[in-house]
């Protein structure tokens, strides 16, 4: 969220939060994160009918809040622009949102995929399958205030052919199909792909028959891929060799597998010095065989400042004896003060063997921040 909802007049909020006849516009697969409008009445249309529908939707949301013990929400109710023809509400708390709900004609659907929700009402009211997938991604995203995170970890709605999904196995992305809604007199259905934060794509299938409880099935891409074909490690190695694709997923795989055969490809990515360099440095540090350590120490002299910083951080995290000499040597010739700060931090975990170098930096380095940090780290060594 971009910050606390701004105060609007009731009429402006009603117009902006329209939930009928307004199509949601966003790039496919982007987290749904529109500015919120604080309002005393959400809107699902225009004119008198729209105002009545808005009042009904908010009344249902207020009844939903009461079931959670929130009977006096005051002006904290937030009405967001409708998605798929469905009204969205949340309760503002500080700079975050909690108690999110998609409000149907008779109830409210909440996060967690619980089967006792009004899924039939939600699917029947929905006008667009892709927008409904985005609405579910918004619903599942935890935006409640937390001292442990800077911003919410957003869920994403996925669409076929997406390439801008860092850290996800391309073979899993290839399984993604367009979201779709189905309807017959007896049953309504929805199938769509969502990406929870930090995991793999998941296919949601909702089946809502008339007069019976709905069923909600969630199947991971790994489950659907099944056995057979190249292994995950084989796919990761092939991806590292392809300069035209994102390598974050593959770097994570070869690092976790401690795959020494991948060291040359990972080193090449590290030395490119782009946004993947830090992840490549972490992969080499995870592999940590002789070739990986040699690649890391050699990259202390890489052209990019960011690459040198990332390498120093990983060497400090490892602090294995074979790398100490390279860190000491680099600390005496490194021209960038920010990199020297990281070299000091990398040397500190080595303890007594690094004390002479830290003391020398504390006395002679040209940068006062480096001198101060080196003196402090040297003093901590028993």
Please indicate, yes or no, if residue 300 is contained in any of the structural domains.
Answer: yes
Please indicate, yes or no, if residue 227 is contained in any of the structural domains.
Answer: no
Q: Does residue 144 share a domain with residue 35?
A: yes
Q: Contact 37/17 with Cβ under 8 angstroms?
A: yes
Dist CA 127 CA 179 (whole Å):
12
- Domain of 355? 232-380
Q: Does residue 212 share a domain with residue 132?
A: yes
Residue 377: C-alpha distances to residues 120, 346, 348, 354, 370 (Å) = 63, 10, 6, 10, 11
Please indicate, yes or no, if residue 129 is contained in any of the structural domains.
Answer: yes
* Residue from 322, 239, 231, 234 nearest 280 by CA: 239
Q: Does residue 207 share a domain with residue 265?
A: no
Q: Does residue 358 share a domain with residue 239?
A: yes
Q: Does residue 244 share a domain with residue 102?
A: no
Q: Does residue 192 share a domain with residue 329?
A: no
Last residue of a domain, one of 221, 240, 255: 221
Please indicate, yes or no, if residue 171 is contained in any of the structural domains.
Answer: yes
Residue 359 DSSP code:
H
Last residue of a domain, one of 221, 246, 264: 221
Q: Does residue 323 share a domain with residue 198?
A: no
Q: Does residue 255 share a domain with residue 134?
A: no
CATH of the domain at 240: 1.25.10.10
pLDDT of residue 162: 82
For every residue of 249-275, DSSP letters joined together read HHHHHHHHHT-GGGHHHHHHHHHHTST
Dist CA 30 CA 162 (whole Å):
11
pTM, entire model? 0.64
E strands within 44-85?
77-83
At 68, list the tokens.
């959670």
β-partners of residue 206 are 190, 216
At 197, list the tokens.
């934060």
pLDDT of residue 166: 79
| Coil vs helix vs strand at 204 | strand
Domain count, the chain: 2
Please indicate, yes or no, if residue 32 is contained in any of the structural domains.
Answer: yes
Q: What are phi and psi of 81, to 5 degrees?
A: -55, 140
Dist CA 21 CA 18 (whole Å):
8
Q: Does residue 360 share a domain with residue 273?
A: yes
Q: Does residue 288 share a domain with residue 257?
A: yes
- 277: alpha, beta or left? (left if phi > 0; alpha if psi -120 to 50): alpha
Last residue of a domain, one of 179, 201, 221: 221
Q: Does residue 364 share a domain with residue 341?
A: yes
Please indicate, yes or no, if residue 1 is contained in any of the structural domains.
Answer: no
The tens place of each residue's pLDDT in the chain, 382 residues long, gives: 344 433 333 233 333 333 333 333 333 334 444 444 444 444 444 556 666 677 889 999 999 999 999 999 999 999 999 998 899 999 999 889 999 999 988 888 999 888 888 999 999 999 899 999 999 999 999 999 887 777 788 999 999 988 768 788 888 888 999 999 999 989 999 999 999 987 789 999 999 999 899 999 999 998 887 766 678 888 899 989 988 888 988 998 899 999 999 999 999 999 999 899 999 999 999 999 999 999 999 999 999 999 999 999 999 999 999 999 999 999 999 999 999 999 999 999 999 999 999 999 999 999 999 999 999 999 999 9
pLDDT of residue 229: 65
At 289, list the tokens.
């065989």
């Amino acid at each position: 969220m971009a910050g606390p909802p701004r105060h609007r007049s009731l009429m402006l909020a009603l117009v902006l939060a329209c939930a009928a006849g307004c199509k949601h516009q966003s790039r496919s697969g982007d987290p749904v994160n529109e500015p919120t409008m604080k309002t005393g009445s959400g809107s699902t249309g225009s004119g008198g009918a729209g105002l009545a529908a808005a009042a009904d939707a908010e009344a249902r949301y207020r009844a939903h809040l009461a079931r959670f013990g929130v009977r006096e929400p005051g002006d904290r109710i937030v009405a967001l622009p409708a998605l798929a023809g469905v009204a969205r509400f949340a309760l503002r708390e500080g700079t975050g949102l909690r108690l999110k709900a998609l409000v149907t004609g008779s109830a409210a659907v909440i996060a967690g995929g619980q089967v006792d929700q009004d899924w039939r009402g939600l699917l029947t009211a929905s006008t667009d399958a892709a927008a409904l997938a985005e609405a579910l991604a918004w619903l599942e995203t935890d935006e409640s205030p937390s001292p442990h995170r800077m911003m919410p970890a957003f869920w994403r709605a996925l669409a076929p052919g997406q390439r801008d999904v860092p850290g996800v196995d391309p073979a899993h992305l290839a399984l993604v199909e367009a979201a779709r809604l189905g309807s017959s007199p007896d049953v309504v259905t929805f199938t769509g792909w969502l990406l929870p934060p930090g995991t793999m794509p998941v296919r949601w299938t909702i089946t809502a028959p008339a007069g019976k409880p709905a069923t909600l099935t969630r199947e991971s891409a790994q489950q659907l891929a099944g056995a057979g074909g190249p292994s995950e490690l084989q796919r990761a190695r092939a991806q590292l060799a392809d300069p035209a694709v994102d390598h974050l997923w593959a770097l994570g795989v070869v690092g976790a597998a401690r795959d020494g055969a991948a060291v040359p490809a990972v080193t090449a990515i590290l030395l490119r010095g782009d946004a993947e360099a830090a992840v490549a440095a972490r992969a080499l540090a995870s592999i940590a065989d002789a070739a990986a350590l040699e690649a890391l120490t050699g990259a202390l002299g890489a052209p990019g400042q960011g690459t040198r910083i990332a390498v120093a951080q990983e060497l400090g995290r490892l602090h294995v004896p074979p790398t100490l000499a390279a860190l000491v040597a680099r600390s005496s010739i490194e021209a960038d003060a920010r990199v020297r700060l990281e070299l000091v931090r990398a040397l500190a975990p080595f303890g007594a063997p690094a004390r002479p170098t830290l003391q020398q930096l504390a006395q002679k380095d040209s940068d006062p921040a480096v001198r101060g940090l080196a003196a402090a780290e040297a003093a901590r060594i028993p």
